[in-house]
Amino acid sequence: MRTIIALGLNYADHAKELAFNSQEEPLVFLKGPGSLLGHRGTTRRPAGVKFMHYECELAVVIGRPAKSVSRAAAMRHVAGYCIANDYAIRDYLENWYRPNLRVKNRDGGTVLGPWFVDASDVPDPANLELRTFLNGELTQQGNTRDLIFDIPCLIEYLSAFMTLAPGDVILTGTPEGVANVMPGDEIACEIDGLGRLVNTIVADESFGR
């Protein structure tokens, strides 16, 4: 993986859920490689925080360099897809347009997997159901057709000012239905055709803190 590009509040229902008015351009931020975690990994919930939640997202993996790419040509630069679960700690949020590093760039806070699925095996990425299960209970459900800024739009927007390289990953945002998670909780994120991504929340003690 190279650059990890994340989208905030890219589903209207999630923006409404968090009392945020729709934006005129994408709310974008970057994440470091230390934030990544694999399938069946454990994510730390720091002691004392009040609201930490999952975010089931479609992750888009770039396969060809993209610079000043038009919307019409954007999908030619996609290598494939996987599932992301991008955790957030709302206690630390300072500003919607400047997500605090402690909210969105935490070690092990961005789970990716369980498979990389080639773009040719995903005929319609603009119509994929997303689901999240918290301890086996369905708590979040949405569809990529409801993205405010869809994949071609995002590639066109981003490539206008930065060159996207093979291996770059775009996390496209999450729908409504986020819920607080606690140590011991198991979270499973599903996206049609991409599998089921599972991980567990653990307390500070598991990390020697």
Residue 120, pLDDT score = 98
Sorted by where each begins, the domain ranges of the chain are 4-207
Q: How confident is the model at residue 2 (pLDDT cuts 50, 70, 90)?
A: confident
| Residue 183, CA distances (Å) to 36, 54, 75, 111 in order | 19, 13, 39, 16
Could you please report the per-residue DSSP string of 23-90? Answer: PSS-EEEEE-GGGEE-TT-EEE--TT-S-EE--EEEEEEE-S-BSS--GGGGGGGEEEEEEEEE-EEG
CATH number (3.20.20.70, 3.40.1260.10, 1.10.10.60, 3.90.850.10) of 4-207 reads 3.90.850.10
Reading across the β-sheet that carries 186-191, which strands appear in turn? 42-44, 195-202, 186-191, 129-134, 137-143
Residue 13, pLDDT score = 61
Coil, strand or helix at 185: coil
Q: Is the pLDDT of residue 14 over 50?
A: no
For tokens 């040509």, name the residue.
73
